[in-house]
Structure 1
């Protein structure tokens, strides 16, 4: 997938959600210049992908897949969740959120 494909994906999801470019910027907590990735100028980092996913109500692993990036922790779990044909979109989102929460909790525990 090219950067242009990812840009089109973000734009399509944003438009289907009836969210303006500025509203997405505000709700994702990402500056307008950084969001120019929607227009193919820049590929977002993992942190921005997570913020965009949350703002657009899209499963984070789907954002990684569409951006053609591997999740930062290198785990196959997010990919497995995103590509499982037996799960609904809501189930995928819930599992992804739970998985990310567990990973964050483990990181905090390791930092102590």
Structure 2
């Protein structure tokens, strides 16, 4: 059931948002106003031309009264396969003490660590580096 297509995620996000907006009986303009984004920007998101930040997705989710987590999954910010592991991303996204830029930076670093630690086909991890920072006392 896993779909690893990033390009398709943005398109399905737009389709999903449009569907939710129609079900909520909101015009594009009304949703844009409630979410605090411009009408053209929201239109571009729905058409799959723009990938919104986690902050914008949270505002849209609030305006639509739906789960922000669903939007994060559809936008490819978190993976549904991660299950409990997705809680790291959700915790970062939900932290009010971080700016949007800081949240995105943390998510990027976290994703790069996960990718770095994932064994590649036919690749071996360098020896000795996995024990850095071990408790010495």
State TM-score, norm by structure 2.
Answer: 0.53
Q: Return the alpha-carbon distance in structure 2 between the equivalents of residues 48 and 24 of structure 1.
A: 12
Judge conservation of contact 1:61–1:78 (CA < 8 Å) in 2. Answer: no
Which among 37, 42, 48 is matched to residue 40 of structure 1?
48
Q: Return the alpha-carbon distance in structure 2 between the equivalents of residues 39 and 20 of structure 1.
A: 15
Match of 1:21 in 2: 28
Greater CA radius of gyration, 1 or 2? Answer: 2
SS of the equivalent of 1:4 reads helix
Q: Return the alpha-carbon distance in structure 2 between the equivalents of residues 43 and 7 of structure 1.
A: 9
CA 28–66 in structure 1, closer or farther in 2 if over 3 Å, else same = same
Unaligned ranges ≥5, structure 2: 80-84, 99-137
User: What is the CA distance between 1:77 and its match in structure 2?
Assistant: 1.7
Unaligned ranges ≥5, structure 1: 81-95
- Higher RCO, Cα 8 Å, sep 6+: 1
Match of 1:64 in 2: 72
Which among 6, 31, 40 is matched to residue 38 of structure 2?
31
Pairs aligned (count): 84
Match of 2:87 in 1: 77
Match of 1:5 in 2: 12
Q: Return the alpha-carbon distance in structure 2 between the equivalents of residues 23 and 78 of structure 1.
A: 33
CA 59–79 in structure 1, closer or farther in 2 if over 3 Å, else same = farther
Higher share in helix: 1
User: What is the CA distance between 1:79 and its match in structure 2?
Assistant: 7.3
